Every structure is written in structure tokens, then in C-alpha cells.
Amino acid sequence: MSESNPAIRGDSFAFQKASAFQIQRGEMPVLGVGIFGAGRVSGGHAQAAKSHPGLKLIGVVEPDEERRSRFTQRHECEGFASHRDMLERDDIDLILVGLPHWLHAPLSIDALNAGKHVMVEKPMACTLEECDAMIDAADRNGVRLMVGHTQQFFAVNRLFKGMIERGELGEIVLAHQTWFKPFGIESRPPWFLDREKGGGMWLMNGAHMVDLLVWLIQSRPVSVKGKVTNRIYQQKADDSTSAIIEFENGVYATIAHSGFKPTGAGHGEELSTELVGTEAVVKMLSYQNKGFRMVGGAYEPVEVPERSGIVEEVGAFVDAIQNDAPSPISNDHARIVMEALLAVEESSRTGREVRLD
């Protein structure tokens, strides 16, 4: 979740091996890349653009002058104060959007209307109407839109996804997710403390949690019940959520997520996902890149490939564009995640189960 996370920073195995990969790619056209936002996530976007042989990083849009200047120097690219100036450039084909959530839809739509491909960070937008307008803009302009659900590119998550697809867990029966992390209020930007601007832990991190569940369980949520609260920090945005999600294939999943108030040193964070199947019980720790399988009543570690994340995600999207293949993450999937996130908020407001079928 933070830039200190290697999967977000982009120093993964694909980055280190980029030059060998480059030689194999031959004559593929190179896409010019523009980045919207020079905040926490954008270092990972820059690394991805610089490490992929089919990409050339051209510039970044960032209204904050100091941040813009630091970014352009560090990544040796141009700086733009307004996204409209960048969108006039013919040498930019792909925009990587790392913006406050309330700006995802309007600025992505501007980019799509300018004929650029777009990878926008999660969550897709703030409302389903915005999601639909983004998908429509991509279709109308004949360009690609993909939402960056990075968890699908984390090595440990991919390992277990493969096991599920090969039937090694049998049928999945239930899932249980927890993620407790320090809220980090001292370093949070103002937009994050305001739900009107898409702020709060639920949209920020719930997007990862629900994405993982939908992807691993391979089914869509049909009912949710949840409570989204701000009892710890009492900001205009949430800090803690509990939810239960029923999936179309009969699986139930529980989610417990909190941005707690740290007391003392040594507070880590971890997104833990446990799956109970008819044949096996497993657990993945996304950020530690560790996996476990229950053997005789206790978890035993399984071997996990080297860490991966945002570099592989951008690479997979670019490969799909260049080979005219389907995007690795569909817009239907991203919209389903958004629908479930909003439904948990609605359930919290009304105190009722929200059905999605």
C-alpha cells in the first residue's frame, strides 16, 4: 500500500530483467507514457514505464510545483501543470492515472476522449455512473481502459490463483480477510480525509480486498451486509469496516479492515486472505509475499516466487494493447468491485442487507 512496499515501488524481478526481455521483443512499436499525479503510487508507474521495452516515459502532470519538479528530476521526464497540455501531445499514447479518487472519472474520460489508452488506479471511480461513463468513453474512442487492481499481480496471490484454477483446493467454501494497518493520519492528504472526494480506508483498501475475493472466488457478489465507521479518527471519511459478502456460487466471505491508531513502535500492516476449500485450507499474506497451507491443523509455509506487482501489471496491459488481446483485468470486473464497495456503504447507512442480483 505504501511506496515503501517493493511491489509498489517497482523494484521487482521483471524490472531487473527488463533488458533481457527487451531483446526478445523485436520491433514492437513503443508507446509514449504520460502519468497523471506525482503522489505515492506514481513512483511505481514511472518504474513500470521505464522498465518496459515497449514504453517510453514522456512526462508527468502534477499541479504541486515542488512535487512535479522532484518527480521530473528523479525520473528524467517532462513536467506539466495541467493534464490538458499533456493530452495535446501526439507522442503520448498511454496515460497512467494515479490521482485522488474523485478525479479518476473526469480526468480518465478526458484522456480517453483525447484518444489515449488509460490505466487508472483502483477503485475505478466514486459512483457506478462514473464507471459506466468511463467504459463508454473507451468504447466510443476505440481505446483501452483498465483499472489497476495490483493485487492480481502479486506473486503469492497468483500462486494460489493457479492452485484454485487447477482444482487443488477443491471447491472453495468460505473466505476470511483481515487487514489492520496504522491509519497514518499525519501523512494523509486532505482528499483522503473526505469521503466526498473518495477518501477513507474502505475505498482505498477495500478495493484491494474485494478485488482479491472476486478474483479468487471466481464469482460475483450477490449480497452484502456491512458496517463502515469512522469511530477511531472521526474524520469525514471512514477508518474501519466489517462486511460479509455472499457470492453467486454460494461462497461467503468476511472482511475486517481497520486503519487503527498506532500506540508505540512496531506496528506493521498485512492483508491476509484465508480460503477454506473442500480439499485444502490456505492463507496468503499479500505484502509479505508469503503463503501457507494447513497441514495437520497448523499452517506450513509454501514456496512463493519472487515478489511482483505494479511493473507486471502495467506490462501485462501494454502487452494486451500491442497484441490486440483482452486486457488482463476487465472493466466488468472493476465495476463489480465498485458495486460491492458501494453496496457495503449502503448497507452500513441503512442497517440492511443489500442484494445485488
Ligand X SMILES: NC(=O)c1ccc[n+]([C@@H]2O[C@H](COP(=O)([O-])OP(=O)(O)OC[C@H]3O[C@@H](n4cnc5c(N)ncnc54)[C@H](O)[C@@H]3O)[C@@H](O)[C@H]2O)c1
If binding is defined by CB under 6 A, does position 150 make contact with ligand X? yes
Q: How far, in Å, CA of 253 to CA of 247, rounded? A: 8
Smaller CB separation from ligand X, 42 or 223: 42
Q: How far, in Å, CA of 272 to CA of 226, rounded? A: 19
Strand partners, 301: 292
Cβ 95 to ligand X shortest distance, Å: 11
If binding is defined by CB under 6 A, does position 148 make contact with ligand X? yes
Smaller CB separation from ligand X, 38 or 164: 38
Cβ 34 to ligand X shortest distance, Å: 10
The interface region with ligand X, picked from 99-107, 215-223, 232-240, 344-352 by CB under 6 A, is: 99-107
Rg of the Cα trace of the chain?
20
Cβ 173 to ligand X shortest distance, Å: 29
Cβ 139 to ligand X shortest distance, Å: 22
Task: Map the footprint of ligand X across residues 260-319, applying CB under 6 A.
Answer: none
Smaller CB separation from ligand X, 61 or 245: 61
Task: Map the footprint of ligand X across residues 42-81, applying CB under 6 A.
Answer: 61-64, 67
CA-nearest of 158, 107, 114, 152 to 134 is 107
Smaller CB separation from ligand X, 83 or 283: 83
* Beta carbons within 10 angstroms of residue 41's beta carbon: 22
If binding is defined by CB under 6 A, does position 204 make contact with ligand X? yes
Cβ 8 to ligand X shortest distance, Å: 5
Task: Map the footprint of ligand X across residues 106-125, applying CB under 6 A.
Answer: 121-122
Cβ 169 to ligand X shortest distance, Å: 26
If binding is defined by CB under 6 A, does position 40 make contact with ligand X? yes
To the nearest 10 degrees (0 to 180), the angle between helices 128-141 and 331-350 is 170
Q: How far, in Å, CA of 215 to CA of 105, rounded? A: 23
Q: How far, in Å, CA of 234 to CA of 231, rounded? A: 5
Q: What secondary structure letter does DSSP report for 173?
A: E
Whether the CB-CB separation of 353 and 223 falls below 8 Å is answered with yes
* Beta carbons within 10 angstroms of residue 119's beta carbon: 26
Smaller CB separation from ligand X, 111 or 163: 111
The interface region with ligand X, picked from 33-41, 137-145, 168-176, 296-304 by CB under 6 A, is: 33-41
Cβ 104 to ligand X shortest distance, Å: 6
Q: What are phi and psi of 80, to 5 degrees?
A: -130, 140
| Distance (Å) of CA 334 to CA 140, 194, 196, 249 | 19, 22, 20, 19
If binding is defined by CB under 6 A, does position 134 make contact with ligand X? no
Classify the C-alpha dihedral 141-151-153-15 as positive or negative. Answer: positive
Smaller CB separation from ligand X, 167 or 189: 189
- Binding-residue pattern over the window 174 to 193 for ligand X, x denoting contact by CB under 6 A: ---------------x----
Cβ 36 to ligand X shortest distance, Å: 5
CA-nearest of 169, 141, 178 to 278 is 169
**Residues 164-186, buried b or exposed e (16+ Cβ, 10 A)?**
beeeebeebeebebebbbebeee
- Contact residues toward ligand X (CB under 6 A) are 1, 8, 36-41, 61-64, 67, 83, 98-101, 103, 121-122, 148, 150, 189, 204
